[in-house]
Amino acid sequence: MVLAIMLLVATILCVFAVLRESKNRNMFAVGFAGISALIFGWFSIMTIISELF
């Protein structure tokens, strides 16, 4: 469960990075942080589901 929480924190940080870099108009960083947020979010949700069932 600790892994899921760590992945969730990484997801939240990636979302903040997307918001910050979209203000700076850095589209490469927005894309990279967005893809990272999707991947970390997927792994955190799947880890939580795996631990519950």
The whole-number pLDDT of residue 36 equals 97
Question: Domain range holding 42?
Answer: 2-52
| Whole-prediction pTM | 0.86
- The phi-psi region of residue 26 (left if phi > 0; otherwise alpha if psi is between -120 and 50; otherwise beta) is beta
Q: 11-32: per-residue pLDDT in tens?
A: 999 999 999 999 999 999 999 9
Quote the number of domains for the chain.
1
Contact 28, 18 (CB under 8 A): no
